[in-house]
Amino acid sequence: MRKLAAGNWKMNGLTAQLPEVTALIAAHPSPSCDVLLCPPSTLVAAMASTAAGRIAVGGQDCHPKASGAHTGDISAAMLKDAGASYVILGHSERRADHGEGDALVRAKAEAAWVAGLIAIICVGETEAERDAGKTLAVIGTQLAGSVPDGASSANTVIAYEPVWAIGTGRTPTLPEIAEVHADIRARLTARFGADAAGFRLLYGGSVRQSNAAEIFALPNVDGALVGGASLKASDFGAIVAALSAA
Ligand code: 13P
């Protein structure tokens, strides 16, 4: 399995930030992991052109329909046409800001595959859910509802992002991360059999240069989904290097 260092720029980035991509590629010309950046949709085409296939580019959301009267939305085919090969789906910020539920995320993943995109499906508990001891149950429900039956290691990546760890500088303990990733792997195995071993399971939430290596050393952690530390080539490059060395 090729591990995956994925960056989510969220609602950050203008054309003036594209030199970060050039700098990242120059500093890490042949990493031994896959590298992906997901900029805002306005930058997908320009970033894909800048990256010239040296790193992958992805979207941060897509509509479940291929086209039609959906003002402001973007289809998976449009992302693909602009040069994307991945799309993040069901990020907790979309679940919270836009009321996205598991059924919608599942429909989006199926739309992503039709367009030839790899779906990165995000799951994660809130702090209240963790405090109540519901973490594994919440994630199990999200996986069951958000991951379509057609998922495979080739078309789907799972990202575990505890909501309370996103942008806060806080992370679960290493055993807590390992516990969740082992549980996700077990649930995928129960559903998809031997292919489950090939699904890439990303951890996301306050991944930094300082904690990347210890997180990447955990079993069933096959990469990261990085927000704030993906915006600068120097910060993200250090995480790429840590994953390459893992
Ligand atoms: P931070 O790395 O900024 O905590 O964000 C994580 C995230 O939400 C990536 O999708």
Residue pLDDT, tens place only, 77-131: 999 999 999 999 999 999 999 999 999 999 999 999 999 999 999 999 999 999 9
Q: Measured from the CB, is residue 92 less than 6 Å from ligand 1?
A: no
Kindly report the backbone phi and psi dihedral angles of residue 199, in degrees, each rounded to the nearest multiple of 5, phi listed first.
-65, 135
pLDDT at 117: 98
Q: How far apart are the first and last CA of the chain?
A: 13
Rounded CA separation 133/127 (Å):
10
DSSP state of 15: G
- Domain 4-245 matching CATH 3.20.20.70: the answer reads yes
Residue 213 corresponds to which tokens in the numbers above? 């290596």
Is 98 considered catalytic here?
no
Rounded CA separation 123/227 (Å):
15
pLDDT at 235: 98
The residue whose CA has the least distance to atom 2 of ligand 1 is: 227
pLDDT at 85: 98
3-state helix, strand, coil in the chain (%, to 5): 50, 15, 35
243 close to 33: Cβ distance less than 8 angstroms? yes
Q: Measured from the CB, is residue 205 less than 6 Å from ligand 1?
A: yes
Kindly report the backbone phi and psi dihedral angles of residue 57, in degrees, each rounded to the nearest multiple of 5, phi listed first.
-125, 145
- Output the pTM of the full model: 0.98
Rounded CA separation 199/139 (Å):
16
Task: Identify which of 50, 12, 74 has the alpha carbon closest to the alpha carbon of residue 226.
Answer: 12
Q: Write the pLDDT tens digit of every residue in 2-42.
A: 999 999 999 999 999 999 999 999 999 999 999 999 999 99
Question: What is the sign of the dihedral through the CA atoms of 81, 17, 204 and 32?
Answer: positive
3 state SS of 11: coil
Residue 91 corresponds to which tokens in the numbers above? 């990020």
Q: How far is CA 242 from the centre of its chain?
A: 17
Q: Write the pLDDT tens digit of every residue in 117-147.
A: 999 999 999 999 999 999 999 999 999 999 9
Catalytic option among 91, 125, 129, 181: 91
Q: How far is the CA of 206 from the centre of ligand 1 (A)?
A: 6
- Mean pLDDT, rounded, of the chain: 98
Rounded CA separation 176/199 (Å):
20
Q: How far is the CA of 215 from the centre of ligand 1 (A)?
A: 15
User: Can you tell me the mean pLDDT for 140-156?
Assistant: 98
Beta bridge partners of 158: 121, 201
User: Which alpha helices (DSSP H) does the chain contain, by range?
Assistant: 19-27, 44-51, 76-82, 92-97, 102-114, 127-131, 135-146, 174-192, 209-216, 233-245
pLDDT at 97: 95
Q: Write the pLDDT tens digit of every residue in 169-219.
A: 999 999 999 999 999 999 999 999 999 999 999 999 999 999 999 999 999
Q: Measured from the CB, is residue 8 less than 6 Å from ligand 1?
A: yes
Q: Measured from the CB, is residue 150 less than 6 Å from ligand 1?
A: no
